[in-house]
Amino acid sequence: MAFSTKFIFVTGGVVSSLGKGLASAAIGALLESRGLTITLQKLDPYINVDPGTMNPFQHGEVFVTDDGAETDLDLGHYERFTHAKLGRNNNFTTGKIYDSVITKERRGDYLGGTVQVIPHITDEIKKSILLVAKGVDVVIVEVGGTIGDIESLPFQEAIRQFKSDVGKENVLYVHLTLVPYIAAAGEVKTKPTQHSVKELRSIGIQPDIFLCRTDRFLSKEIKAKIGLFCNVDLDQVITAKDVETIYEVPLVFHQEHLDDKIVELLNIWTRAPKLDEWERIVEKVKNPGFSVNIAIVGKYIHLRESYKSLNEALCHGGIANDCKVNLDFVDSETIDESSCHQRLEAADGILVPGGFGARGIEGKMNAIAFARKEKIPFFGICLGMQVGVVEYARNVAGMEWAHSAEFDEATPFPVIYLMREWFDYKSQRVQKRDTTSDKGGTMRLGAYPCVLKKDSLSYRAYGKKEISERHRHRYEFNNAFKEKLEQAGLIMSGTSPDGHLVEIVEIADHPWFLGCQFHPEFKSRPMNPHPLFVSFIAAALAYKNKRAAG
């Protein structure tokens, strides 16, 4: 088989959290800026079939793609940095690979053979990589975990074999490593990199390019030393310097000639890179004209990774308004009616993000009531919208004890509930679910169409009538209470095309109060900021100015 597609494998050494996902995304951005078409894939060594059921405290955000896959948060970086269209084939875990091998084994596909890691698991991994290779110039595959981990070995073996399968001229190995500065010695240290490469070589992989994560630009001497020990030329050693904003990563890599080296080694002819848009974004992030404070009232505030896409979308909304967005993470469990005012006083906008479970719900409700009454811009996302509806039902529409059935099954007013049957636009079938449904597979997931009401805040923000947004939730707005809530002033400004699923709610006598059942943060890009975030930050800025004017 002849291959025209090129493959770049990105591995990581020494320690985790060096930013392999961002590095892979930045490589994608640079190659796109040279006119190449690319895609990205993440291989995750853990046994979970997907991150959908993993705790955000442990694993960070679950990123959702248009096709409804629950994926690793690195796919969020890939989508924000590039134009790659990602879906379920762009993220494979050990669990997913074994799942399909075991299914085949049970079906008898291996004809009685002994099923082993090599070749059966490694073959399945290689097949999964090829699934995304169609129609693109370059596939960038990020291998999760750190070299030396037991659990990532089958993936490493598979990418080693891959080179002889597709031809050595089509494969490049990039290794991200740590080059720490040791203050006591007054110098950077290359030993951890040497050890990490020794590990890689012992499994048969010689990296072609080293990305050295460090706090300063590496001198020629240091690069030469790494080159000597690790068997590459000096210009194959790239400084991956710490940056002020993640959107600077492609620029720093380019300054170090990473993209030149990649196209040279892979023997690809491209145009010169066009990076002016990246420069504009970085300039805007670094030198904003204004600033606003946004309070994020949620449960997972101790691990910022849990709200990755949300933080980025707020930053994008800021870029569009020439505005720095200061994020104040507020633990919803600490907000009661009396502390609300003091804790949220400095906020120019209040946002309640998505979430699962009852913890901190009353605090979120207090924060929403505060935003509603004080006319502070409020943005409720998924759970944030649902709690907003509950708050409105209780405190404005007179439905005492109203709640979401997720938290109180016996409530007399289940304004948010588990819809037993609904028409699914994606499968074009009626879907059913109940309280006994499987946790891994009963959510409304991925892109769904939504129609906006003319003259609504949403319509003004989007500037069009039909939109598509990504979902990840079980519970829905209960139409039995629609009329009563409408009479009390709640506007259902976005619904599914058949009008059955309420997707956006607003209130009229408020400068900016909007809750959406979907997650708009997944579709925001630095160069194409999401309209709701642009509009929310503009409202926060207006609120701040109005307050300053007294």
| Interaction of residue 544 with ligand GLN, rule CB under 6 A | no
Q: Residue 79 or 406: which CB sits closer to ligand GLN?
A: 406
Q: Mark residues 380-399: x for contact with ligand GLN by CB under 6 A, - for none.
A: --xx----------------
| Interaction of residue 461 with ligand GLN, rule CB under 6 A | no
Q: Is the Cβ–Cβ distance between 210 and 230 less than 8 Å?
A: yes
- Total residues binding ligand GLN (CB under 6 A): 10
d(CA 87, CA 203) in angstroms, rounded, equals: 30
Q: Residue 12 or 388: which CB sits closer to ligand GLN?
A: 388
| Nearest distance from C-beta of residue 476 to ligand GLN, angstroms | 7
Q: Residue 179 or 350: which CB sits closer to ligand GLN?
A: 350
Q: Residue 195 or 433: which CB sits closer to ligand GLN?
A: 433
| Interaction of residue 299 with ligand GLN, rule CB under 6 A | no
| Nearest distance from C-beta of residue 353 to ligand GLN, angstroms | 7
Q: Please enumerate in sequence order all residues whose Cβ is within 8 A of that of 123, keeping only pairs 6 or more positions apart, or say none.
A: none
Q: Residue 248 or 521: which CB sits closer to ligand GLN?
A: 521
- Could you say which of 298, 355, 526, 531 contacts ligand GLN (CB under 6 A)? 355
Q: Checking DSSP bridges between strand 323-331 and strand 290-298, what pairing results, if any? A: parallel
Q: Residue 196 or 306: which CB sits closer to ligand GLN?
A: 306
| Interaction of residue 520 with ligand GLN, rule CB under 6 A | no
Q: Is the Cβ–Cβ distance between 199 and 226 less than 8 Å?
A: no
* Residue from 167, 194, 171, 192 nearest 182 by CA: 192
Q: How many CB atoms lie within 10 A of CB 310?
A: 25
| Nearest distance from C-beta of residue 238 to ligand GLN, angstroms | 38
Q: In the structure encoding, which two tokens stand for residue 34, read together?
A: 């040279």
Provide the angle, in degrees to the nearest 10, between the axes of the packed helices 308-320 and 531-548: 60
| Nearest distance from C-beta of residue 473 to ligand GLN, angstroms | 3
d(CA 291, CA 328) in angstroms, rounded, equals: 13
Question: Active site residue: 382, 391, 473, 510, which one?
Answer: 382
| Interaction of residue 354 with ligand GLN, rule CB under 6 A | yes
DSSP for 199-265 reads: HHHHTT---SEEEEEESSPPPHHHHHHHHHHHTS-GGGEEEEE--SSGGGHHHHHHHTTHHHHHHHH
| Interaction of residue 31 with ligand GLN, rule CB under 6 A | no
- Could you say which of 356, 407, 422, 425 contacts ligand GLN (CB under 6 A)? 356
- Could you say which of 63, 78, 92, 475 contacts ligand GLN (CB under 6 A)? 475
* Residue from 475, 354, 350 nearest 407 by CA: 475
Name the one range near ligand GLN by CB under 6 A: 15-23, 169-177, 348-356, 447-455. 348-356
Name the one range near ligand GLN by CB under 6 A: 65-73, 367-375, 470-478, 535-543. 470-478
Return the H-helix or E-strand segment holding 516: strand 513-516
Amino acid at 386: Q
| Interaction of residue 406 with ligand GLN, rule CB under 6 A | yes
Name the one range near ligand GLN by CB under 6 A: 150-158, 351-359, 370-378, 504-512. 351-359
In the three-class reduction of DSSP (H, G, I as helix; E, B as strand; rest coil), residue 489 is classed as: coil
| Interaction of residue 330 with ligand GLN, rule CB under 6 A | no
Q: Residue 394 or 470: which CB sits closer to ligand GLN?
A: 470
Question: Is 382 part of the annotated catalytic residue set?
Answer: yes
| Interaction of residue 308 with ligand GLN, rule CB under 6 A | no
| Interaction of residue 433 with ligand GLN, rule CB under 6 A | no
| Interaction of residue 403 with ligand GLN, rule CB under 6 A | no
| Nearest distance from C-beta of residue 407 to ligand GLN, angstroms | 9
Q: Residue 159 or 371: which CB sits closer to ligand GLN?
A: 371
The residue sitting closest to ligand GLN, measured at its beta carbon, is: 354
| Interaction of residue 143 with ligand GLN, rule CB under 6 A | no
d(CA 21, CA 88) in angstroms, rounded, equals: 17
| Nearest distance from C-beta of residue 362 to ligand GLN, angstroms | 15
Q: Please enumerate in sequence order all residues whose Cβ is within 8 A of that of 492, keeping only pairs 6 or more positions apart, or say none.
A: 453, 477, 482, 486, 502, 504, 505
d(CA 53, CA 31) in angstroms, rounded, equals: 34
Half-sphere exposure of 105 (CA within 13 A, CB side): 14
* Residue from 124, 150, 267, 273 nearest 203 by CA: 150
Sign of CA dihedral 519, 83, 24, 533: negative
From residue 74, alpha-carbon distances to 81, 108, 442 in Å are 11, 35, 24
Question: Is 519 part of the annotated catalytic residue set?
Answer: yes
- Could you say which of 6, 163, 316, 473 contacts ligand GLN (CB under 6 A)? 473
Return the H-helix or E-strand segment holding 155: helix 153-166
| Nearest distance from C-beta of residue 156 to ligand GLN, angstroms | 34
d(CA 227, CA 218) in angstroms, rounded, equals: 12
| Interaction of residue 407 with ligand GLN, rule CB under 6 A | no
Question: Active site residue: 212, 471, 521, 530, which one?
Answer: 521
- Could you say which of 474, 482, 500, 525 contacts ligand GLN (CB under 6 A)? 474
Residues identified as active-site: 382, 519, 521
Residues that bind ligand GLN (CB under 6 A): 354-356, 382-383, 406, 472-475
